[in-house]
Chains A and B, each alone.
Chain A
Amino acid sequence: MMTNPGNKVTQGQFSFLPDLTDTQISAQIKYALKNNWAVSVEYSDDPHPRNTYWEMYGNPMFDLKDPAGILMEINNCRKAMPHMYIRVTAFDSTKGWEAPRMSFIVNRPPNEPGFRLLRQERDGRSQGYTIIPYATDRPEGERS
């Protein structure tokens, strides 16, 4: 996968950019708060694109006015889980939306091994493909 040097996982917003600084993260959260979206911090060690539901770090934060509180939670989460992917999600509860409106990664493991491509021989010489993150090679709890 030489088109993605360093195997950086590209999920959510801003993932093709260099990692956001804390000031930039605050500015993004500020935008979410301005729109009255509930911001939450989530973490996971499985970067598979179909892994939608990550673990929540604390409760979603409602009624906040200022991004400082959320940045504090992000930093707490980074300290507790430096080897995990951490993302910030902003949920819009307005009727008709009821969905995350923003989601971006704020922390990555120091080493991102990427994905293994698995080819499956099927009937009639057709082939199926699947990807498996190397990060999940070992059972949960034993991954660093």
Chain B
Amino acid sequence: MDTIVLSDDAVVDLQAEFEASNMDEVMTKLDRELVGLKPVKTRIREIAALLLVDRLRKKFGISTGTPTLHMNFTGNPGTGKTTVALRMAEILHRLGYVREGHLVSVTRDDLVGQYVGHTAPKTREIIKKAMGGVLFIDEAYYLYKPENERDYGQESIEILLQCMESHRDDLVVILAGYKDKMDRFFLSNPGMRSRIAHHIDFPDYRPDELQDIAMLMLAEQNYRFSDGAAQALKEYIPLRMTLPHFSNARSMRNALDRARLRQANRLFLERDRPLTRLDLITIEEPDIRGSRIFVEGRLEGEPEFAPAG
């Protein structure tokens, strides 16, 4: 508790407060590890600024209600909603908004029970676990099933709403899901919409951003591309984007996983030749070109499909 209240003409240093909070480090990390996502980063900066200013106001004894930080992330698959939620827990912890900074990630199954009287304790247990941190509800629209009036999802929503209001200091709730479905969900649950202050839309990645993401992922797994492979990936991305079930960064991850398989197989076939460290970490052009997208114009496990053009 701040016991000393500054006098009205005292001066405080926002810069010093900023440095003390390590925000800079978190923001740089965010910029480095998350490609693109401009609107998301802007909003995170705004929230961080608000929390810092609030902290200074508190020093002057200016009371503010705790700001509502419940958030709603919408966006297509693979646009980084979960990754940002995880980062959000850390950021809010750094800023002293949440006490522990852990993330509890749940879906409908974790909140909604199977019989009468099962839902409330289940939801409460999850909420208790998330207190002091961030509760991340993925695909939140599944909570509400209008076609079944006896569905227990509604009960879970009501408990959530109540806790989001009365335990604002203890808990930050982040909902995530695809845009159209979330919009429909909020239409039928206006109370939920009004209790969420931040609606953040995650844009799709551009091809060059996807390329950067792929490079980051590779580096994380201690692989590298040969020049030819990088070029092949550049050609691969637009092709993949026209195919069905394209899910941004997740598709990149899957493509890289398959490239790793092909690389391993290629090395295995050349096994009479001694291998260097470089051989083991390099993904060559044929490993990318071997993709079915180049060969047959379709993905593994997908029906025959001719890409436009």
Contacts and interface: CB of A to CB of B under 8 A. Distances in A.
Question: Do A and B make up one complex?
Answer: yes
Interface of A: 58-59, 61, 63-70, 72-73
Contact of A68 (B102, B121, B125, B132): B132
B125 A65 contact: no
The 9 A-B pairs of least Cβ separation, nearest first, read A66-B132, A69-B128, A68-B170, A68-B131, A69-B131, A65-B100, A66-B131, A65-B102, A65-B132
Contacts of B128: 61, 64, 69-70, 72-73
B193 interface: no
Interface of B: 99-100, 102, 121, 125, 127-129, 131-133, 167, 170-171
A59 B132 contact: no
Contacts of B170: 66, 68-69
Contacts of A69: 127-129, 131, 170
Contacts of A64: 128-129, 131
Nearest to A61: B128
Contacts of B121: 58-59
A68 B132 CA distance: 7
B167 A63 contact: no
A68 B127 CA distance: 10
B250 to A, nearest CB: 28
Nearest to A63: B129
Nearest to A70: B128
Nearest to B163: A72
B125 A61 contact: yes
15 contacts: A59-B125, A61-B125, A61-B128, A64-B131, A65-B100, A65-B102, A65-B133, A66-B100, A66-B133, A67-B132, A68-B131, A68-B132, A68-B171, A69-B131, A69-B170
Contacts of A63: 129
Given A66-B100, A72-B167, 13 more contacts: A59-B125, A64-B129, A64-B131, A65-B102, A65-B132, A65-B133, A66-B132, A66-B133, A68-B99, A68-B132, A68-B171, A69-B127, A69-B170
A57 to B, nearest CB: 12
A64 B99 CA distance: 13
A42 B170 CA distance: 23
Contacts of A61: 125, 128
Nearest to A76: B124
B125 A66 contact: no
Contacts of B100: 65-66
Contacts of A73: 128
Contact of B129 (A58, A65, A67, A72): A65
A70 B99 CA distance: 15
Contacts of B102: 65
A26 to B, nearest CB: 10
Nearest to B171: A68
Nearest to A23: B1
Residue from the set B100, B121, B127, B128 with the largest chain A CB neighbour count within 10 Å: B128
A73 B100 CA distance: 19
Contacts of B129: 63-65, 69
Contacts of B99: 66, 68
Contact of A65 (B127, B131, B167): B131
A68 B124 CA distance: 12
A139 to B, nearest CB: 29
B90 to A, nearest CB: 14
A35 to B, nearest CB: 15
A66 B135 CA distance: 13
Contacts of B132: 65-68
Contacts of A67: 132
